[in-house]
Structures are given as structure tokens and as C-alpha cells.
Amino acid sequence: MSVGAKRKQSTIGEFFGKKSKKVKLVEKKETVDVEVDALVEIKSEVQRADQDQLATAEGVDTMSKKLLVSLSPFLRNLLTLEIESMEYSWLKELQAEFRKPYFVKLKQFVTREQQVHTVFPPAPDIYSWSRLTPFDKVKVVIIGQDPYHNHNQAHGLAFSVRPPTPAPPSLKNIYKELKQNYPDFQIDNTKGDLTPWALQGVLLLNTALTVRAHSANSHAKQGWETFTRKVVEALVKDREQDDKSLVFLLWGSNAIKMVESLLSKSSLSQKKNLKVFKSVHPSPLSANRGFFGNNHFRQINDWLYNERKEKMIDWSIVPGCHLEEVQRANSTLETSKNS
């Protein structure tokens, strides 16, 4: 993780706004005054750490411990997961969200659910998407909906399942489409972990990041949608300012509506570094109505390679297997850049 040159230290007022608020929260018939100013201290610490000691993973760990010690017990319990498990570049981009009333209420709701019910994914995996695909590395965004709600499935990546869980129905259909795009793609329905995609810059983001066991959509409309919308908005705003490539792969009306509403307010839609692909969801209920045959995986790679002069995504999911066409193209691109 690289750290930029040192910048002039901003005041707390300049960095986070001069006004502070108190948010009224009711939990177990008790009223709790959450001092939002306490969260300002978190973000000030993040900025100072960025200047002096976040060049290494050890620096990140030191920062997290320092922040936790500085918090009140209430806020420490509420935000420990975000501070300790969210990847640093995403933490920087999303830091303002953690001090907003909706997020505090959301975290209270999730905490209560975790105390009474089994919640998926396990807490350490809720933000795994951020650790596997850092902010600056995102090239492709695939948006899902709810995490899988059965045991040993959800692990923080949309459409992906925790090993050794086999591929669910929607993912099986994704594999079928990939086979049509690349004949040498090896289908193995016993494999459902899409971590190799995430490591190549494919952000696998659900619109809700948690769910109660065996209860689909049980954490919908509690605040996660607002948060994940901000995740996408942060990417859009960043790519407006530079020439980094960004592809949206939108399957289903929910994903399409969210991203199109953001792009309609953005100049990014007029830039050459954006590409959007849309179709119905890969669910067995809709895949035959336009998902099969959409050729999205090949189109993404063709655009990255031919228009953007960037490496293709190797969509292989079986360890040791590779797409030969992608491997050759990426090798050629690497050679040309080095010559």
C-alpha cells in the first residue's frame, strides 16, 4: 500500500465540517446520545496515520488499535468491525458514512440481529469485498442483491460462496454463459468461490451486506442500500476525475436502477473510461429471458484489451486452469509495455 507525499494537516473543522450533531438513538427503552464528534477523532486519526505510518500493514493495525482505545465503550462496540476489517483505501473513501444517523441505526439493527439470530455472512466477512478488491484496483463492478442465507454460503462476495460449498443455481447459470463465451472455460459446479475474480479487480458487491439465516431479504431496507449506493457513488466520482477504467455489469432491475440513477447525475457517462452492460438476472427464473447469450464476459475483456489497452480478466474458477486466449492476450500486452 503506497502512501502519498505528506500534506498540510487539516483542522478537524476543515476536514469533516465545523458543525457537529447529536443523534438520538433508542435501544432497549434507553435513550443514548451518540457524540458524533467522537467519530471526528477517528477520521482525524486516519488522516494523521496516512501521513506517517500507513505504508505497511503493521501501520494499519496500529491505527486501528489507537482508534479503538480512543472511543467510548458504546462507539467502540458499534464501529469495531468497520475500523478493524475494512480495507484502508475504502475506509478513507467511506469514512463520512460512519458518522451519519442512518449508519449508526443500521449498525444497531445488525448488532441486535447478531445477538438474537444467526446472521450471514459471519462478521469478519461482511467487508471482505473491500479487502480483496481495494478502491484503486476496481475495474469491474458486479452488483448482487441479498447475501446467501444458508450455512457455509455467504462470505462477503456477491454470487460467490464459501469453499467447499458448491455453486448455487444462479452461479451455475453464470458458468454456463461463461462456457459460451470461452469454450475452454472449465465448469466445475463443486467450486463456487469467486475470489480469483475479486483479486483481479472485479468488485462483487451485494446491495445488502447481511441477512438473517434462512430469511431472504430480512436485512433489506435497514440502511445497507444507502451505504452500498455510496460505495458505487464513490467509484463513479473518482473515475470522473481520472482515466481509470470502470465497467458495470448489471444483472436485474435493482442493479440497473441503482447504477443508472447515479450515472444520470454524473459526467462519467460521457467519458470513454466507462462501460455498462445490462441484462436480466442469472436466476433460473429469468436467465432464459436474456441472460444466456448476453456475451458479457467476452465483451468486457474485448473492451478492456482493445479500447483501454488493459489486461483481460481471466474468469477461470478451477485452480490451475486458465483461459488460453486471455493468457495470450495479457502476455502480449505485457510484452508490448515492456518493449
Q: Dump the DSSP string for 85-153.
A: HS-HHHHHHHGGGGGSHHHHHHHHHHHHHHHHS-EES-GGGTTHHHHHS-GGG--EEEEE-SPP-STTT
Give the cell for residue 32: 443514548
Structure confidence at residue 320 (pLDDT)? 95
Domain-terminating residue out of 116, 144, 170? 116
Q: What are phi and psi of 204, to 5 degrees?
A: -105, 95
- Between the alpha carbon of residue 57 and those of residues 54, 62, 105, 192, 295, the distances in Å are 7, 9, 30, 29, 39
Q: What are phi and psi of 120, to 5 degrees?
A: -115, 150
Phi-psi region of 152 (alpha: psi -120 to 50; beta: other; left: phi over 0): left
The answer to the question of residue 29 being in a domain is yes
Tell the burial category of 160 from Cβ atoms under 10 Å away from its Cβ (0-12, 13-18, 19+). buried
The answer to the question of residue 309 being in a domain is yes
The verdict on 138 and 193 lying in the same domain is yes
The verdict on 174 and 305 lying in the same domain is yes
Instruction: Write down the residue that cell numbers 473491500 correspond to.
Output: 130
Interatomic CA distance for residues 73 and 35, integer angstroms: 12
Q: Which residues contact 120 (CB under 8 A, 6 or more apart)?
A: 147, 148, 149, 150, 151, 153, 154, 210, 211, 212, 213
The verdict on 157 and 292 lying in the same domain is yes
Residues assigned a catalytic role: 146
DSSP 215: B
Q: Tens digit of pLDDT for each residue in 26-40?
A: 443 333 344 344 344
CATH number, position 196: 3.40.470.10
Domain-terminating residue out of 116, 145, 162? 116
From first CA to last CA, the distance across the chain in angstroms is: 27
> Could you tell me the residue range of the domain that residue 179 belongs to?
123-338
Structure confidence at residue 95 (pLDDT)? 84
Quote the pTM value: 0.81
The answer to the question of residue 5 being in a domain is no
The verdict on 334 and 216 lying in the same domain is yes
The answer to the question of residue 178 being in a domain is yes
Instruction: Write down the residue that cell numbers 440481529 correspond to.
Output: 113
The verdict on 289 and 318 lying in the same domain is yes
Instruction: Write down the residue that cell numbers 452500498 correspond to.
Output: 228
**Strand, helix or coil for residue 323:** coil
The answer to the question of residue 8 being in a domain is no
Tell me if the bond preceding 163 is cis, omega within 30° of 0.
no
The answer to the question of residue 177 being in a domain is yes
Helix (H) or strand (E) run with residue 297 in it: helix 296-302
The verdict on 155 and 294 lying in the same domain is yes
Structure confidence at residue 36 (pLDDT)? 42
Domain-terminating residue out of 83, 116, 149? 116
Interatomic CA distance for residues 316 and 323, integer angstroms: 7
The answer to the question of residue 6 being in a domain is no
The verdict on 188 and 330 lying in the same domain is yes
| Full 3-state SS string of 19-57 | CCCEEEEEECCEEEEEEHHHHHHHHHHHHHHHHHCCCCH
* Cβ atoms < 10 Å from Cβ of 193: 19
Helix, strand, coil abundance in the chain, percent, nearest 5: 50, 10, 40
The verdict on 67 and 173 lying in the same domain is no
The verdict on 327 and 284 lying in the same domain is yes
DSSP 313: P
The answer to the question of residue 4 being in a domain is no
For the chain, the domain total comes to 2
DSSP 201: T
The verdict on 201 and 240 lying in the same domain is yes
Phi-psi region of 29 (alpha: psi -120 to 50; beta: other; left: phi over 0): left
The verdict on 246 and 333 lying in the same domain is yes
Residues of the chain with pLDDT under 50: 1-56
The verdict on 67 and 105 lying in the same domain is yes
